[in-house]
Structure 1
């Protein structure tokens, strides 16, 4: 007697299961979400390949090439040179100094030497491309710290309750009582005055972290209050799971959907706030590759004949924010139907 065994069923990979899940399918059918994702990926590629798109030149200073140990701008395209890898993954601070084509105060129109023209003598194209790296660095660090702090403190507040919850929530109320922009300006001014030689990114990151984690913590707290009494949490507790394991393995993972979408939306708003600081003179030093400075340079030349000094920086800022907001809104609708 022969038995015919059923052919083994192949298990679908996690990646394929993810791509065919209902939220991802909803995202893929949303044209605005795909448009926002395409814009975001374009900025990601611009930031990563900034040394190739706006390569440092020897004529406009050459400090970046010197620090990369390169003698010619074309060597930055050669993987055999150490400067090739250093420029991509660990570019020195001199590469973030906007190349200055001249010291003439009047803007110069777009040309082969400066594709987007110049403002205060600075190459707008170089500043925007390398400024994309600056914006991504600040956005990822600020949002990452806010997300981690918000997850941990919000989970502790919601899970334990009692005096711990009361203490954290009253502190959050104090932060909410202060306008975020005013609090950020005060902190940046204080930190820069007390630490004049510090990296300019440090006071900006610290100020936005102090002012930004509370919103994440409050959202996570609300999700934890909803999930901590569910059956699977009680089952894990009855099996002897410790509180920290319950929080990290069961409570937080089921509270991530709301804060992840919020984090993606915040990635598009941080550059706007940083640009506002630079416009007020509280951002990076003059000449650093950062979008807000280029807008500040254009303030004295808001005339139709000098359209390029404002159009290109404004386009970068608007498109960057638009891409993250379109994709973030669609992601929120896909993973949280209650928000519709």
Structure 2
């Protein structure tokens, strides 16, 4: 006798379930959050398509085109050329050098050759567009490393408690006792002095990681202290689950909502701190495509007749920070259980 089983019910896709979840629906109804998300997406597109928006030229030296094996600026738009793909995904360091139209110290106003004008002879438009790539690269690397380190140390501290928790928390207290920017400046200065020929990204990433992981660790510790006492953790422990399995599979995944929202906010604040380092002369070498460089160039020309030297860099910095802050604040509110 053959039995006909009922067809299995169609399971709702994970994507649809995510898009219709309460936090996401709350985000979608928040107009400021959507406005911030649009700003962030615009900057993402600017960073990704930087070689096409501010294409390298031959008039300003042509080092970027040479390293991309291109003979003419228009060739960068041709997908058949290897330089097209290399510019998108692995642009050489020479492409991050701001093109210099002249060596005249006086700023020149916006023109077809330099859409945002020049400052110290450097093309502001080129520096801002390629600087967006620099900002995203730094923000993503620094936040990713500090987030992972903070989660691991915070989870160990909260899960085991005792002398391990005491030791970690006292070390975190020492880090919090020092102003973050001062600690970062000290570390960057020390690392650059000990490694004079190193890539400028290295000391900045290390300094921000050392100064930034503690805030994530403290948040994760608090969440782990709450979740480790829940019934499903006790059930997994009674079934013989090892500590690392409990931490990685059961405790940490249910403690990430608050720390992820802080990470989104940090994506918008870290570029501001990096720009401050460059303004103080501790960031990238002169002429590197980075927003703080352009603010530093404008310092000697803060006069109404030279408005463009500060307005355009300030607009990029403010909008970048505004987008992440609007979206990050809304994300935090959406995933806050107290606001439901």
Q: CA RMSD in A?
A: 1.4
- Residue equivalent to 1:10: 10
- Residue equivalent to 2:226: 226
Distance 1:20 1:6 in 2: 28
Deviation at 1:337, TM superposition (A): 3.5
- Residue equivalent to 1:158: 158
Q: What are the within-5 Å matches in structure 2 for residues 102-121 of structure 1? A: 102-121=102-121
Q: What are the within-5 Å matches in structure 2 for residues 291-330 of structure 1? A: 291-330=291-330
Distance 1:310 1:339 in 2: 40
Residues 1:168 and 2:162 aligned together: no
Distance 2:214 2:339 in 1: 21
Look up the SS of the partner of 1:328 in the other structure.
helix
- Residue equivalent to 1:272: 272
- Relative to 1, partners in 2 of residues 1:8 and 1:237: Cα closer, same or farther, differing over 3 Å? closer
Q: TM-score, normalised by structure 1?
A: 0.98
- Residue equivalent to 1:42: 42
Deviation at 1:228, TM superposition (A): 0.3
- Residue equivalent to 1:216: 216
Distance 1:117 1:265 in 2: 31
Distance 1:66 1:7 in 2: 62
- Residue equivalent to 1:204: 204
Look up the SS of the partner of 1:267 in the other structure.
helix
Q: What are the within-5 Å matches in structure 2 for residues 18-167 of structure 1? A: 18-167=18-167
Distance 2:57 2:96 in 1: 13
Distance 1:37 1:48 in 2: 16
Q: What are the within-5 Å matches in structure 2 for residues 254-265 of structure 1? A: 254-265=254-265
- Residue by residue over 1:111-167, the C-alpha shift from the partner in whole angstroms, topping out at 9 and shown as x without a partner, is 000000000000000000000000001000100011000100000000001111111
Distance 2:151 2:4 in 1: 53
Q: TM-score, normalised by structure 2?
A: 0.98
Gaps of 5+ in 2: none
Deviation at 1:339, TM superposition (A): 6.7
- Relative to 1, partners in 2 of residues 1:196 and 1:304: Cα closer, same or farther, differing over 3 Å? same
Spell out structure 1 runs of 4+ moving beyond 4 A.
3-8
- Residue equivalent to 1:337: 337
- On the 8 A contact 1:332/1:339 being kept in 2, the answer is no
Distance 2:339 2:15 in 1: 26
Distance 2:214 2:6 in 1: 55
- Relative to 1, partners in 2 of residues 1:199 and 1:4: Cα closer, same or farther, differing over 3 Å? closer
- On the 8 A contact 1:116/1:312 being kept in 2, the answer is yes
- Residue by residue over 1:29-64, the C-alpha shift from the partner in whole angstroms, topping out at 9 and shown as x without a partner, is 000000000000000010000000000000001000
Deviation at 1:7, TM superposition (A): 5.9
Gaps of 5+ in 1: none
- Relative to 1, partners in 2 of residues 1:145 and 1:128: Cα closer, same or farther, differing over 3 Å? same
- Residue by residue over 1:189-220, the C-alpha shift from the partner in whole angstroms, topping out at 9 and shown as x without a partner, is 11111111000010001000000000000000
